[in-house]
Structure 1
């Protein structure tokens, strides 16, 4: 039962990341189940989307935790984080392609920034170690990281890059910029 629900939520995030107007039958097909099975778990599209949002937030949080960004050197931790982000790429695109999706489905973001954001903490640590550029804000580095990860996900989805090569390209571009 839980495996079916999880498959539906994973498929919903993946399908909706590519097409916000996707139907329940399209999501059911991607999950490998029938439409009636989807309705057994989620009575309507809005209920499914809300559950997919909540599940995606949890999955992304788990991926960050599993990347152990507070261990090892900041550069090694950044490499693990990029790999983790790419692993949950559809979830990231699903949540962050539409800035209103979380609010619109009742998943509120805190008004105050989190007292500890593990990614920002990693960036600050990297700046303090001298591994990351200290002349730009940690938020700037985080936004550049997200932009490169999103671009990598998009290139894989378009078939322009392999899933296996994208992490190295994102990391290389993040670390070296675009100069030869």
Structure 2
């Protein structure tokens, strides 16, 4: 069973994913608690945001690293990394937004460095797949990376809106991403 702090972090990630400037009051509403409950666990909003960041980095790094090591075949690895990103959807989106704002030269702690390693592994996979002719070489790797993240965001939005059956989201999003980069 999750503790109060973990539930507050999850609610904060949801609220901050919707609106990066979400207030403590808005986060409390998402969590279904009072503002005072949040302040019992976190000194201020910045502390809560930093705790969210560290927690989500751990979750995302673990899942993406497991997916990367799940196979020796690059096409399978990239597919499994895509599914891992979908599995941790909101967390992945949150981490991605954080790192869009930060410069990689500013990275300091181990979880942030691990995120950079996961991204570097992902870039190497795409480069290898392009060298093998499995992915269209006309597309730059940063472009493909943005497509990857964008497809995860679309899947999250579709799931939250209820527009697509939950069971179809994984299949539809992978098929769309794979087709967009010419992966065969």
TM-score range for the pair, normalised by the shorter chain length: 0.7 to 0.9
Equivalent residue of 2:137, what SS? coil
Where in structure 2 are the equivalents of 1:1-180 lying within 5 Å? Answer: 3-31=3-31, 33-69=33-69, 71-97=71-97, 102=102, 117-177=120-180
1 or 2, which has the higher helix percentage?
Answer: 2
Q: Structure 1 residues 116, 28: closer, same or farther in 2, change over 3 A?
A: closer
RMSD of the alignment, in Å? 3.2
Cα deviation per residue 1:98-117 (whole Å; 9 max; x = unaligned)? 666557xx96678xx76971
Q: Where in structure 1 are there 5+ consecutive unaligned residues?
A: none
Cα deviation per residue 1:46-71 (whole Å; 9 max; x = unaligned)? 21112112222222211211212572
Q: How many residues align?
A: 175
User: Structure 1 length normalisation: TM-score?
Assistant: 0.77
Q: How far, CA to CA, are the matches of 1:148 and 1:71 in structure 2?
A: 22
Equivalent pair of 1:13/1:91 in contact (CA under 8 Å): yes
Equivalent pair of 2:93/2:152 in contact (CA under 8 Å): no
Q: How far, CA to CA, are the matches of 2:81 and 2:28 in structure 1?
A: 31
Q: How far, CA to CA, are the matches of 2:179 and 2:73 in structure 1?
A: 18
Q: Where in structure 2 are there 5+ consecutive unaligned residues?
A: none
Q: How far, CA to CA, are the matches of 2:4 and 2:118 in structure 1?
A: 36
